[in-house]
Amino acid sequence: MLREVTAVRYVTPLRSGGSVPGVVEADDLGTYVVKFTGSAQGRKALVAEVIVGELARALGLRFPELVLVHFDPAIADDEPHQEVRDLHGASAGLNLGMDYLPGAQDFTPEVAKAFPVDPREAGKVVWLDALTVNVDRTVHSSNLMIWPTLGIAPPRLWLIDHGAALVFHHRWDASDPTKAYDFRHHALGHYGPDVRAADAELAPRVTRELLRDIVAEVPDAWLLGEEGFATPDDIRTAYVDYLHARVEASAAWLPTDFPAREELAAEEALRAARTQQGRPGWLKRVPDLHGKPAAEQDWSVHLG
């Protein structure tokens, strides 16, 4: 079962995502990135984090430890932003923490150009994402980290953030375990992911027993009130049934068509050209700053 800790010090909010997680220190001397139950994404995002993260770990992929974090909003009274304090106030009690990776580096397109990823490892990540219908590991938002970067050991690829996975649990009545998804723009697609080898290796390991053990780690409180289900255990059974059926139907959804880097670059250039073409004349003089760090943006066009 996931360990339980108590947050004793609130460090800072993280504004890189819409859920505004926070970095906290806990009574076990660990530091964690906490995703709050009161966030706009709701508790289903935390359910997805637990199920997909623990499945990744069970399959041998690198994923930070998850813990259940008891959070008292009073420890963050010094937070200056009202919307963040409101989030904390709505999240008193049990939340989800992910082990903080100090010095970790985002797996951006620039980093990816110089970082080697073995096709077999890439295939396993893509296979996991396809199985769990994770629509948020793209070239623009990889949810991958490189760690460690401090010379202690060679840097490795780490998976993070699976709150957008398991999209089927938002509409159980319309879920189809054989449905294929477009993974052409997966963050690891241009590494030649060997998804067939991953399917042969990993599919037999995703048994009903493994899935039952994993979904048992989701707290009952995060499963209450789901329409169409009488008890949390009924929902757990639905997750097991769906994911196991999807494993058995892998031939129907296994992604194999991935564009090369050059194709992706051409598609991105075409997208940028269409965006520019659709702008009014005065706006065409403003560069597209989307995705660039502030330090790389040309602010002279705004400042004259």
pTM, rounded to two decimals: 0.86
Residues in the chain: 304
Contact 190, 116 (CB under 8 A): no
Spatial contact of 39 and 45, defined as CB atoms under 8 Å apart: yes
Nearest to 133 by CA among 159, 166, 163: 166
Q: What is the pLDDT of residues 191-219, one digit of tens each?
A: 999 999 999 999 999 999 999 999 999 99
Residue 214: name the closest of 247, 260, 190 by CA.
247
60 C-beta neighbours (distance < 10 Å), count: 12
Task: Single out the residue of 103, 100, 98 nearest to residue 155, CA to CA.
Answer: 103
CA-wise closest residue to 71 among 29, 14, 23: 23
Angstrom distance (rounded) from CA 116 to CA 112: 8
- C-alpha dihedral over 227, 232, 236, 237, to 10 degrees? -80
In 3D space, the residue among 226, 31, 18, 4 whose CA is nearest the CA of residue 95 turns out to be 4
pLDDT per residue, tens digit, the chain (304 aa), is 899 999 999 999 997 667 899 999 999 999 999 999 999 889 999 999 999 999 999 999 999 999 999 999 999 999 999 999 999 999 999 999 999 999 899 999 888 888 999 999 999 999 999 999 999 999 889 999 999 866 677 889 999 999 999 999 999 988 899 999 889 899 999 899 999 999 999 999 999 999 999 999 999 999 998 889 999 999 999 999 999 999 999 999 999 888 777 777 777 777 777 777 765 665 455 444 444 443 333 323 223 3
CB 243 within 8 A of CB 132: yes
